[in-house]
Amino acid sequence: MTTQIIQNKRYLNSQWTERMQDLLLVSSFGLWAAVLGLSPVLAFRLLMGS
């Protein structure tokens, strides 16, 4: 995901935007991993009645 950033007044926010996109991408993978990891556990607990 590393790209060369053009140093130009027109693209001043591109480095901040790229960092924000990286953060959102990583956090979305983390969220899906937590949901997919916890759902079988929760389903098992609900089926067992405890």
CB distance 5 to 14 below 8 Å = yes
pLDDT digits (tens, 9 = 90+) for 1-50: 566 655 556 666 788 889 999 999 999 999 999 999 999 999 999 999 85
Residue 5's contacts (CB-CB under 8 Å, 6 or more residues apart) are 11, 14, 15, 18
CB distance 35 to 45 below 8 Å = no
- The model's pTM is 0.55
Strand segments, DSSP code E, in the chain are: none
